[in-house]
Amino acid sequence: MVDTADHAHVIIRPPLAWGLAVLAGLVLRWLVPLPFLPDDLPAGWIGALIFVAALALGAWAIRTMTGAGSNVPTNRPSTTIVESGPYRFTRNPIYLGMFLSLVALSTAFNDLWLLVMLVPFALVIRYGVVAREEAYLERKFGDAYRGYRERVRRWL
């Protein structure tokens, strides 16, 4: 049977993948703490500032996407190619916000494990989510998506 559902068929919902990465990092931190920043650095404040920036980027991207009338969840159909807001600079601002938030948590908690978890998280997002979304958008929107992809970088 052919699945004709109108969505990207990602291997995992990105917020779930993010949550699993954070959980794994926190469990590893509990088992074997790995601080990596100098003790005199205000890591909590720096991490908090980075986290606020990550949240702002994600909120801006979600607001822009929903304002254009498209769906954010990966299991719902995309209705348009969004090229405004943060999507002028990156095709994946929500995922960039998620990456940045892992860096923020790693900094705030001064724990290398959370930063290490960025690697498997990034690989899952890049190959299990973004690659599938890009293929879906190209199938659905054709030349309009290919033109956008040529104008705007995947990440930065």
CA distance 44 to 58: 21
Q: Is residue 145 part of a domain?
A: yes
Query: According to the model, what pLDDT value does residue 4 have?
Result: 61
Q: Considering the domain boundaries, does residue 108 fall inside one?
A: yes
Instruction: Tell me the pLDDT tens digit for each residue of 92-137.
Output: 999 999 999 999 999 999 999 999 999 999 999 999 999 999 999 9
CB 124 within 8 A of CB 11: yes
pLDDT band at 5 (very low <50, low <70, confident <90, very high): confident
Mean pLDDT of the region 7-15: 95
Asked if pLDDT for residue 2 goes beyond 50, the answer is: no
List, as own/partner pairs, every contact residues 121-126 make where C-beta atoms lie below 8 angstroms and the sequence separation is at least 24, other chains included. Answer: 121/17, 121/18, 121/21, 124/11, 124/12, 124/17, 125/14, 125/17, 125/95, 125/98, 125/99
Domain membership flag for residue 133: yes
The structural domain count of the chain equals 1
Q: Answer yes or no: is 23 within a domain.
A: no
Q: Which two tokens stand for residue 36?
A: 């990596």
Per-residue pLDDT tens over the stretch 22-43: 999 999 999 999 999 999 999 9
Residue 11 belongs to some domain of the structure: no
Q: How confident is the model at residue 152 (pLDDT cuts 50, 70, 90)?
A: very high
DSSP letter for 122, please.
H
Looking at the domain assignment, is residue 21 inside a domain? no
Q: Which of 59, 129, 64, 66 is nearest to 97 (CA)?
A: 59
Q: What secondary structure letter does DSSP report for 92?
A: -
4 assigned to some structural domain: no
Give me the domain span that covers residue 108. Answer: 44-72+80-151
Say what the pTM is. 0.93
**DSSP string of 17-49?**
HHHHHHHHHHHHHHHS----S-TTS-HHHHHHH
123 occurs within a structural domain = yes
Mean pLDDT over 46-72 rounds to 97
User: For residue 84, which amino acid is it?
Assistant: S
Alpha carbon distances (Å) from 133 to 9, 12, 73, 92: 8, 12, 11, 10
